[in-house]
Each structure stands twice: as C-alpha cells, then as structure tokens.
Structure 1
Amino acid sequence: MLNLNDVYFFTQVIDHGGFAPAARVTGTPKSTLSKRITALEAELGVRLIQRSSRRFTVTDLGREFHRHAVAMLIEAEAAENAVRQRLAEPSGIVRITASIPTAQAALAQPLLELARRYPKLHVAVQAADRFVDIIQEGIDIAVRDHFAPLPDSGLIQRTVCVDPVYLVAAPDYLAAHGMPAAPAELAGHEGLLVHPQAAPWRLQRNAEVVEVLPRGRLSANESSILLAAAAGGMGIACLPRKLCGAALQAGQLLRVLPEWTAGQVTTSLLIPHRRGQLPSVRAVADVLAERIPLLR
C-alpha cells in the first residue's frame, strides 16, 4: 500500500517544478522530499523523476502516475472533508426505539433539544411494547427501563440514570383509607399491581428489607395506567420517580411511607457496536444521557 504522504510530496515537486520550490511551499526540507520520493519509487519499482545536480526531468511513467496521483489526492481530501463535516454537525437519520411509557416519559424533551442543536439530524422514534431486535430492524439506539441487570448481549450498554420506585396514592384515597404508618399496614390497603398474581412488594429502608402484598384492586402491565389509577384514587401504586414526579409536584399524588422505596429502575441505552461509532448516533446518545436524568 502506497504512503499517501509520499504521493502528496511527489505531486508538490512536479506541480512546483522542482525540489527547491516544493520545499519552500510545503515547508519540508529538500532532503526529506528527496528521501520520500526515492522511497515512493522503490515501492513502485520504477523511476518517476530523472534528477541530477543540474537537471530535473519527469519520466513518462512519472507523468502518468502524476495524473492519477492528483485525482487520488482530490478524492482523499473529499473523503476527509465528508467525515469532518459529519463530525462538525451530525446529520442523517438516527433510529430510536423505546417502550410506549418510556417514550412518553423520557423522550419528548431530549428530542426538542436535539432538534435545536442539530437541525440536519432526523430522529425517528419507534415506540412499541413488543420485543424489538435492534440489530435486525436497523435500530441505532434502544432506550430501556429495567429492574434487573440486562443480559450480556454484545451491545454497547450505557447507563443513563437509576431511579427509585416510590409508593404513591391520591390525597382523596389516603383521606378515606388512612396513611399507612408501617409497611405491614399495606396488607389492608388497595394495591395497584402489575399482574393479578403479582409477587409481594419488596420494600427497602437503608439495610432493612420487608415484603408485603396489598389487596389487588387493579392490575396492569402498563405504567401509565397505574399512574392514572393512583391519581384517580383507586389505591396505592409502586411507580418510578420520573413517572410520578410531576403528579407529586402538582399534589395529585402523595408519597406513602416516604422513608421506604420499592426498588429502583435503571435507564440504559443499548447501541450496536457498528452504529455506535457514527457521529450522529454518538450525538443523540450524549443528549439522551444528558437530558433524561433531568426529567426525574
């Protein structure tokens, strides 16, 4: 494989009519130019320039090689500029997938920020509550909320934030049924569960862990339904802080047993290795990592 720098030096010597003029233009010593062109000729196995102390002549092969060398350098410069433009301003389509609740709770504000920062970037969001094979379906970034560690899948895994899970209920519900003073009292309350046969809630306060299961009033495997049911006074729900935070601030929900949490949910970005090197994908991942934690 030819050294592209040697090809560049050769074209400079030819274009400027000699080693001395080329040395002045490029700022490279004449001795270095001579050594590099000698190395190029040795690599090609031909003489490109006939030179002596008084004469400088380009051979026929040298002229032919020069024509191709100039074209090659132009293409190399175009390739470099294309990459630098992408690095300077991310552009093109970046495909993101997330569950519907995650998309609703976590993506709207970051997408606005991306649109402001990178007007040439097109972010395509696929919100779906089904298994998405991000490799087969050409996804660049998957945003995943998970309670347990994700399996080692060969994907780039980037942790964005870790959010506690709160016990929450509407003020009207607590006024009617009373505010629990201890975890054991939850057994006498209406619970908004993720499944009719849901496992007991595992509550933690520092190093203390207890399990308790309230009465099942309603079950749904969709967090926004549980949020609406809790705000509607139907019972107590376990919800990530980022999902119920706005309702807590608005007074629509109150924390139950505020010293206790019901575990934690981790938000991670999953990125295929071959896509993770693209400047546009890195830019989107950086904004998601920056903005999602602020939504809590």
Structure 2
Amino acid sequence: MLNLNDLLIFVRVVDHGGFAAAGRALRLPKSTLSKRLAELEREIGVRLIQRTSRSFAVTEIGRDLYRHAAAMLIEAEAAEHVIKGRLAEPSGTVRITASLPIAQFRLSALLPPLAARYPKMRITLDVSDRFVDIVQEGFDIAIRNHFAPLSDADLVQRRIYDDPVWLVASPDYIREKGAFSRPGEAREFDGLMASPSESVWTLRNDQGSVTKVTPFPRYAANETISLLEAAKAGLGVACLASSFCAPLIESGALVRIFPEWTAGGVATTLLVPHRRGQLPSVRIVADYLIAKLSRRAHDA
C-alpha cells in the first residue's frame, strides 16, 4: 500500500503548482517535499511530475493518481469532521442494559430528561435480568445489582452505592400475625424467598451481632418486583433492598421488621467496556447516572 503521507504531499504540491508554495502551506522544507515525492515515484515506478529548474508539469499518470488521491483526502477530511463533531457535541447512540428493578424504579425517571437535554444523542435501554456480555453484545453501559464482587475484570467498574437489605411486610400481615420484635421469632412468619432453594436469612446489627433465621418458605420468586408485590399483598415477609422499599415504608404500604437488623446488602455498579476512547455521549450518560443514582440512594 502506498504511503498516505506521500500521497498527501503529492496532492498539495500539485494544488500549489510547485514545491516552494506547497512547502509554505505544509510548513515543511522544500527539500523534504522533493525527497518524499521522489520516494513515491520510486515506489510506483513512474514519473508523476516532470520538473526542472524552469518547468513544472504533471504527467498523464500523475493526473490520474492526483484525481484519486485528492478524492481520498476529501473523504479523510470528512471523516475527521465527523469525529470532531461527535467530540464537540454529544451525539450518536448510547446503549444501556439494566435489570428490571433498576429500569423501573430508577432509570425510567432519569433517562428522559437526559435525552431531552441532548437532542442529537439517542439512548436505548435494554431491560433484562439475564447476564449480559456488554462487549460481545455491543452495549456501552451496564448497571448491575450484585451481592458478590463482579468478575468482569476487563471492564471498568464504578461502584454507585451499597444498599442494605431490610425485612419488610404489609401492615395487614403484621396485624394478622402480630408484631415481631426479635429475630428469634422469624420461624413464626411466612418467608417470601428469592429462590426455591433459599431457606436461611443471615441478619446483622450495628453492634456486629450475627444471627440466622429460618422462616417458613411460603412463596419464592427470583425477581425483586414480584417479591415486592407479594409483600404488599400480605403473603409474608420479604428481604428487599432499602432503596426499593423505603418509599413504600414511608407511605405506609410496607412495614420494616426488626429495624435494628439488616439481611446483608446489595451493591449497584456501573460498568463500561473501556476507560480510554469513550465518546463524550457515553461519558456524559455514565457520569449523569452515577451522580443521580448516588443522590437518590443517599436520599432514600
């Protein structure tokens, strides 16, 4: 393949009608231009410009090469303008993947104002509770809730917040079963479990005490909103992240049981494929979500 820099020099020499004027435009010595053109001619095997101390004429083959090389430079400059435009103003598509609870309780209210602020930027949200390979599937941002550390070592991880898990139930359920005052009474209530195999909850308090409770497994669902609805319906007691159930506790739709104790915690992390080379649109969306989600978690 021909040296693209040499083609650029050739086009500019032809455009300016000589080496001296082209050298001034490119801010390169005339001797450098002459040497690079000679190298291009040597590689091609033909003369492109007939030049003497008194004449300067582009050969027939030189005119053919000039036409194609000039078109190539125009396309290169157009590509540069596209990139500079993208870097100057956020634009293009930003693809986000998140689980259903995050999408419904958090992103559904946060993303529309951001999209309205940047009309040239298109946001797409894929809602899925399955594991998503964001590199292979072409996502720019993933937001994940997780109990254990994530194994995505090749991804940039930005921890947003850690959310304590509370035990909650409906007021009707509390009235029916009676108020529970200590974890030892947990075996007397109906458990809304996160999976059919779950049977034990590990509770901790601020003093560092740890206890395990074994509720009766009344209902199982591996999805947060299903457990939340089951708790609101009075089926039993659920372990839910505080940020999801705090508004319902405040409104009186749910009651927190054993308020001195938590059932572990769930972390929320934002992941992006690369730290370097991110488009401004991706950085803006990521920074916006981290700021907003962190603030809402703190407010909750």
TM-score range, shorter chain: 0.7 to 0.9
Other-structure match for 1:230: 231
Other-structure match for 1:158: 157
Assess, with a 3 A threshold, how the Cα gap between structure 1 residues 137 and 27 changes in structure 2: closer, same or farther. Answer: closer
What is the distance in 1 between the residues matched to 2:280 and 2:3? 27
Assess, with a 3 A threshold, how the Cα gap between structure 1 residues 111 and 218 changes in structure 2: closer, same or farther. Answer: same
Assess, with a 3 A threshold, how the Cα gap between structure 1 residues 50 and 137 changes in structure 2: closer, same or farther. Answer: closer
What is the distance in 1 between the residues matched to 2:171 and 2:74? 71
What is the distance in 1 between the residues matched to 2:291 and 2:43? 50
What is the distance in 2 between the residues matched to 1:64 and 1:129? 58
Q: Is the 8 A contact 1:93 1:124 kept in 2?
A: yes
What is the distance in 1 between the residues matched to 2:50 and 2:210? 86
Is 1:64 the equivalent of 2:64?
yes
Other-structure match for 1:124: 124
Return the letter of the residue paired with 1:225: S
What is the distance in 2 between the residues matched to 1:40 and 1:249? 76
Is 1:185 the equivalent of 2:180?
no
Q: Is the 8 A contact 1:160 1:292 kept in 2?
A: no
Q: Is the 8 A contact 2:164 2:264 kept in 1?
A: yes
What is the distance in 1 between the residues matched to 2:204 and 2:51? 84
Other-structure match for 1:51: 51
Assess, with a 3 A threshold, how the Cα gap between structure 1 residues 190 and 119 changes in structure 2: closer, same or farther. Answer: same
What's the CA shift string for 1:223-280, capped at 9, x where partnerless? 223323434555432111221132244454444334432122233456678xx96766
What is the distance in 1 between the residues matched to 2:19 and 2:197? 85
Query: Where does 1:37-116 land on structure 2 (aligned, <5 Å)?
Result: 37-116=37-116
What is the distance in 1 between the residues matched to 2:53 and 2:209? 89
Find the residue that maps to 1:122 and give its secondary structure. Answer: strand
Find the residue that maps to 1:191 and give its secondary structure. Answer: strand
**Superposed displacement of residue 71, structure 1:** 0.8
Q: Is the 8 A contact 2:50 2:57 kept in 1?
A: yes
What is the distance in 1 between the residues matched to 2:151 and 2:134? 15
Find the residue that maps to 1:7 and give its secondary structure. Answer: helix
The two structures have a TM-score, normalised by structure 2, of 0.76
What is the distance in 1 between the residues matched to 2:259 and 2:180? 11
**Superposed displacement of residue 283, structure 1:** 5.3
Other-structure match for 1:6: 6
| Higher alpha-carbon deviation: 75-84 or 86-95 | 86-95
**Superposed displacement of residue 160, structure 1:** 4.3
Assess, with a 3 A threshold, how the Cα gap between structure 1 residues 285 and 2 changes in structure 2: closer, same or farther. Answer: farther
**Superposed displacement of residue 172, structure 1:** 6.2
Q: Is the 8 A contact 1:192 1:216 kept in 2?
A: yes
**Superposed displacement of residue 104, structure 1:** 0.8
Aligned residues: 292
Assess, with a 3 A threshold, how the Cα gap between structure 1 residues 79 and 166 changes in structure 2: closer, same or farther. Answer: same
Q: Is the 8 A contact 1:160 1:293 kept in 2?
A: no
Assess, with a 3 A threshold, how the Cα gap between structure 1 residues 15 and 134 changes in structure 2: closer, same or farther. Answer: closer
Identity of aligned pairs, percent? 53
What is the distance in 2 between the residues matched to 1:254 and 1:38? 84
The two structures have a TM-score, normalised by structure 1, of 0.77
What is the distance in 1 between the residues matched to 2:9 and 2:133? 49
Any gaps of 5 or more consecutive residues in structure 1?
none
CA RMSD of aligned residues (A): 3.6
Q: Is the 8 A contact 2:193 2:199 kept in 1?
A: no
Is 1:264 the equivalent of 2:292?
no
Assess, with a 3 A threshold, how the Cα gap between structure 1 residues 43 and 250 changes in structure 2: closer, same or farther. Answer: farther
Find the residue that maps to 1:107 and give its secondary structure. Answer: helix
Return the letter of the residue paired with 1:241: S
Assess, with a 3 A threshold, how the Cα gap between structure 1 residues 227 and 10 changes in structure 2: closer, same or farther. Answer: same
Find the residue that maps to 2:124 and give its secondary structure. Answer: strand
Return the letter of the residue paired with 2:228: L
What is the distance in 1 between the residues matched to 2:267 and 2:219? 25
What is the distance in 1 between the residues matched to 2:263 and 2:82? 50
